[in-house]
């Protein structure tokens, strides 16, 4: 039996419940936004999903720390928006009494919701149990109806032990070809991994967890036939460097651009092969919540994840990956080949 069975089940159910809220926000067209200090949009979905997940974590693991992306100060000044979010939080519950009780039931009131959002203020670090949460990763993708993910990972003494990604707009079918398209039925998937126990995918449901099945990365025998995933936003990853790397590797297939850690999930199940996030600024530090769950899921599916210099991502130095620059994720058999070209193009080789 896994050492982290309780943590995995809680994380899966908490992420599943939070995705119900994000989908309701999208379909009700309740996508009110605020602008953060860095001008990135924060939606009703971000706040609501963070409140639901942190409430579940605090119920099950009251002593654990949480590194969350959002904080509630702006909401406390905007009462109508807080009321709107609480109405959604209150309505977002799993339709299975037992699973809902596992998460601690509904959030009691608006103040409890704001307190839950603010409980994601841990500074991170390499000691103890710390959850890293991104309630809506790929906010711009979410706003336009593209790919986004609800992301949660447990880091113990700086090492990622449990990772869960909820991707409401990815196809359930692990064999579906990689595509930025999000139309049609049969969508919504939960990816998960526990260190040393492999990775799984299962359909998202609105109640008890569906059965999970093992996933693994595709073996790439001919690098020229590999499929790249990259970010939609040029501000997040250098598209020009990516194109040059593809050219030097002999890859002619067009990259599939999608938002969020859905890219990690996609390559982990063999729908794509390579994910690069290349530095766009020397001073930019990646956030731990943008990579922790995806990093573990890809590695447990048989992949290798490093930064652009070949170092493992270090989740134990605070809220950011300050010791790393960029991300290179690929099947183990070709990671070294890809990394060599990345270093050449970025001038690190």
Is the distance from CB of 293 to CB of 313 less than 8 angstroms?
Answer: no
Is the distance from CB of 256 to CB of 239 less than 8 angstroms?
Answer: no
Region class of 186: left (phi > 0), else alpha (psi between -120 and 50), else beta: left
Task: Considering the candidates 10, 43, 46, 227, report the single residue annotated as catalytic.
Answer: 46
Backbone angles phi, psi at 166, to 5 degrees: -105, 120
Annotation says 10 is catalytic: no
Is the distance from CB of 313 to CB of 159 less than 8 angstroms?
Answer: no
Task: Considering the candidates 10, 139, 227, 306, report the single residue annotated as catalytic.
Answer: 139
Is the distance from CB of 315 to CB of 155 less than 8 angstroms?
Answer: yes
Q: How many CA atoms lie within 13 A of 317 on its CB side?
A: 11
Nearest CA-CA partner of 204 in 8, 13, 29, 66: 13
Annotation says 46 is catalytic: yes
Nearest CA-CA partner of 290 in 305, 301, 304: 305
Element housing 101 (H / E): helix 97-102
SS3 category, 327: strand
Nearest CA-CA partner of 170 in 156, 157, 183: 183
d(CA 129, CA 64): 5
d(CA 266, CA 191): 9
Is the distance from CB of 212 to CB of 198 less than 8 angstroms?
Answer: no
Tokens (6 digits) for 345: 């193009």
d(CA 309, CA 300): 21
Burial 262-287, CB ≥16 within 10 A → b, else e? bbbbbbbbbbbbbbbbbbbeeeeebb
d(CA 23, CA 19): 6
Active site residues: 46, 139
């Amino acid at each position: 039996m896994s050492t982290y069975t309780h943590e995995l089940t809680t994380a899966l159910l908490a992420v599943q419940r939070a995705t119900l809220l994000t989908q309701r926000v999208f379909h009700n067209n309740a996508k009110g936004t605020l602008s953060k200090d860095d001008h990135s949009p924060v939606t009703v979905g971000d706040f609501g999903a963070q409140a639901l997940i942190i409430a579940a974590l605090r119920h099950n693991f009251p002593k654990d720390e949480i590194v969350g992306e959002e904080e509630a100060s702006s909401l406390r000044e905007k009462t109508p928006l807080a009321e709107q979010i609480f109405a959604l939080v209150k309505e977002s519950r799993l339709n299975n009494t037992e699973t809902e009780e596992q998460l601690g039931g509904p959030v009691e009131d608006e103040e409890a919701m704001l307190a839950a959002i603010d409980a994601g203020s841990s500074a991170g670090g390499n000691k103890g149990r710390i959850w890293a949460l991104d309630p809506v990763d790929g906010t711009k993708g979410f706003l336009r109806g593209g790919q986004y993910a609800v992301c949660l990972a447990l880091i113990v003494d700086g090492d990622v032990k449990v990772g869960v990604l909820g991707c409401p707009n990815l196809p359930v079918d692990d064999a579906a070809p990689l595509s930025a398209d999000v139309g049609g039925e049969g969508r919504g998937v939960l990816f998960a991994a526990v260190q040393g126990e492999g990775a799984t995918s299962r359909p998202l449901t609105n109640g008890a967890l569906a059965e999970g099945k093992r996933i693994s990365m595709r073996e790439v025998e001919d690098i020229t036939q590999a499929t790249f995933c990259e970010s939609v936003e040029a501000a997040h990853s250098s598209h020009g460097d990516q194109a040059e790397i593809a050219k030097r590797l002999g890859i002619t297939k067009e990259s599939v651009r999608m938002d969020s850690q859905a890219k990690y999930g996609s390559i982990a199940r063999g729908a794509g092969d390579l994910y690069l996030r290349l530095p766009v600024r020397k001073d930019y530090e990646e956030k731990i919540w943008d990579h922790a769950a995806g990093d573990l899921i890809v590695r447990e599916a048989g992949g290798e994840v490093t930064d652009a210099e070949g170092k493992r991502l270090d989740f134990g130095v605070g809220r950011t990956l300050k010791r790393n620059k960029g991300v290179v994720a690929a099947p183990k058999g070709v990671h070294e080949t890809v990394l060599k070209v990345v270093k050449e193009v970025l001038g690190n080789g």
